[in-house]
């Protein structure tokens, strides 16, 4: 899978270029990713677009008139920071996507702190049983130290966030609108609580309103951020199915809560189960499958780490070179590798092609 060019967005010139490109709200991330492969830097991508290599005439007009200083000012006013691929906070797992976002606007805690991550999604028009299940799963994940990821929407999304918050755990919402837009408006208080306990994330700059086509784009980011995805309820043709397809394409673990075969809201979970998703009856099943439940006691599995192992785990981004971790912690490489080996023996990280990444469970 191609990745962003090394240090994409690292220079001030490149960061300005990325904010200019972000101002072209309808310019597709896939097109930018392909341009980046060819040209190497965001500044050169801007030149290529203006030269007519990509984009429409109206998009080029948007690019010419874009004010990156104003975009940055609005983000700062909203309490958001700008995260680009060159930043340590940018989740490496997003590069599994064919169209990863070139920029994330983030409010709240650092994304490097909010891991491991599991998404809980489902219908906006959920049943009372679905509401209760989403809260139970969100709370169970939070108590086990897992960040609950969802879309901040009405229904299952909102209840999974609330479950995590009720358990005093972190949760992360990916928005389909600008980082300063409270959508849905009825979730204004919930979104504020999510910022305090976790983070809000959007690929859209401030003042971008929610529109239907932005939510499928949002769903790919949810799938890219997580190591596993749970669907509680979903009707045929719902956004849950889109997110699930992204997760399956990315090789994420997929779980489904079964429902009545006569209920329209069981369409997506039952279809997933037929296609090989793991059946769960609640948070205990999920935590057991994730390796977060002690099979002897039925309680969240303890994770006793040394100070060095905890420091490395806190610094670890997905698929990170040991040298980069050592540089960040200002440690010798040998000490860093020793801590990584300890974490790997505990099943908390794994080595992939010389890089280390987080994992939720021990896998064969």
The DSSP-derived string for 230-292 is: EE----TT-HHHHHHHHHHHTT-EEEE----TT-GGGHHHHHHHHTTPEE-SSHHHHHHHTT-
Report the topology of domain 117-289: Rossmann fold (3.40.50)
pLDDT per residue, tens digit, the chain (364 aa), is: 568 998 999 999 999 999 999 999 889 999 999 999 999 999 999 999 999 999 999 999 999 999 999 999 999 999 999 999 999 999 999 999 999 999 999 999 999 999 899 999 999 999 999 999 999 999 999 999 999 999 999 999 999 999 999 999 999 999 999 999 999 999 999 999 999 999 999 999 999 999 988 999 999 999 999 999 999 998 887 888 899 999 999 999 999 999 888 899 999 999 999 989 999 999 999 999 988 765 555 555 545 677 888 888 878 766 788 888 888 888 988 888 888 887 876 667 777 777 887 765 433 3
Q: Is the peptide bond before 116 cis (omega within 30 degrees of 0)?
A: yes
3-state SS class at 75 = helix
The sign one gets for the Cα dihedral 34, 37, 39, 40 is: positive
Contact between 5 and 99 under an 8 Å Cβ cutoff? The reply is no
Contacts of 325 (CB under 8 A, 6+ apart): 312, 315, 316, 331, 336, 340, 356
Contacts of 76 (CB under 8 A, 6+ apart): none
Per-residue DSSP letter, 316: P
d(CA 200, CA 216): 17
Contact between 240 and 120 under an 8 Å Cβ cutoff? The reply is no
Per-residue DSSP letter, 301: P
Tokens of 228: 């596993």
Contact between 110 and 90 under an 8 Å Cβ cutoff? The reply is no
pTM reported for the whole predicted model? 0.82
| Domain(s) of CATH 1.10.10.10: residues in the chain | 307-358
pLDDT the model gives residue 343: 80
In words, the CATH class of domain 307-358 is mainly alpha
Q: Is the peptide bond before 112 cis (omega within 30 degrees of 0)?
A: no
Contact between 9 and 102 under an 8 Å Cβ cutoff? The reply is yes
Contact between 265 and 239 under an 8 Å Cβ cutoff? The reply is no
Measure CA 56 to chain center.
29
CB atoms within 10 A of CB 173: 28
The sign one gets for the Cα dihedral 160, 118, 140, 168 is: negative
Q: What are phi and psi of 151, to 5 degrees?
A: -105, 5
| Domain(s) of CATH 3.40.50.450: residues in the chain | 117-289
Alpha helices by DSSP H, the chain = 12-22, 29-39, 42-50, 57-65, 68-77, 128-143, 156-166, 188-197, 214-225, 239-249, 267-274, 283-289, 307-315, 322-329, 333-345
pLDDT the model gives residue 215: 93
d(CA 195, CA 198): 5
């Amino acid at each position: 899978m191609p990745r962003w060019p090394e240090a994409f967005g690292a220079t001030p010139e490149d960061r300005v270029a990325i904010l200019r490109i972000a101002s072209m709200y309808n310019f597709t991330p896939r097109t930018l990713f392909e341009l980046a492969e060819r040209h190497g830097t965001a500044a050169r991508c801007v030149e290529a677009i203006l030269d007519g290599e990509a984009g429409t005439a109206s998009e080029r007009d948007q690019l010419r008139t874009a004010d990156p200083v104003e975009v940055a000012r609005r983000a700062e006013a909203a309490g958001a920071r700008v995260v680009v691929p060159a930043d340590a906070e940018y989740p490496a797992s997003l590069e599994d996507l064919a169209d990863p976002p070139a920029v994330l606007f983030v409010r709240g805690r650092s994304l490097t702190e909010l891991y491991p991550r599991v998404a809980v999604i489902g219908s906006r028009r959920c049943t009372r049983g679905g509401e209760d299940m989403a809260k139970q799963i969100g709370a169970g994940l939070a108590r086990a130290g897992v960040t609950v990821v969802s879309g901040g929407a009405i229904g299952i999304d909102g209840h999974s966030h609330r479950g995590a918050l009720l358990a005093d755990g972190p949760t992360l919402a990916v928005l389909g609108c600008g980082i300063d837009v409270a959508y849905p408006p009825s979730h204004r208080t919930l979104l504020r609580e999510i910022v305090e306990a976790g983070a809000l994330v959007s690929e859209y700059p401030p003042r971008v309103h929610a529109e239907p086509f932005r939510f499928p784009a949002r769903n790919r980011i949810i799938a890219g951020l997580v190591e596993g995805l749970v669907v509680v309820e979903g009707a045929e043709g719902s956004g849950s199915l889109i997110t699930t397809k992204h997760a399956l394409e990315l090789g994420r673990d997929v779980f489904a809560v079964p429902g009545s075969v006569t209920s329209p809201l069981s369409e997506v979970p039952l279809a997933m189960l037929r296609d090989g998703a793991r059946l769960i009856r609640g948070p205990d099943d999920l935590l057991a499958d994730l390796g977060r439940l002690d099979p002897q006691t039925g309680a969240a599995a303890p994770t006793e780490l040394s100070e060095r192992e905890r420091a490395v785990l806190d610094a670890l981004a997905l698929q990170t070179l040991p040298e980069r971790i050592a540089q960040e912690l200002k440690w010798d490489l040998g000490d860093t590798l020793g801590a990584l080996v300890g974490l790997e023996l505990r099943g908390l990280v794994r080595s992939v092609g010389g890089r280390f990444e987080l994992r939720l469970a021990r896998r064969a």
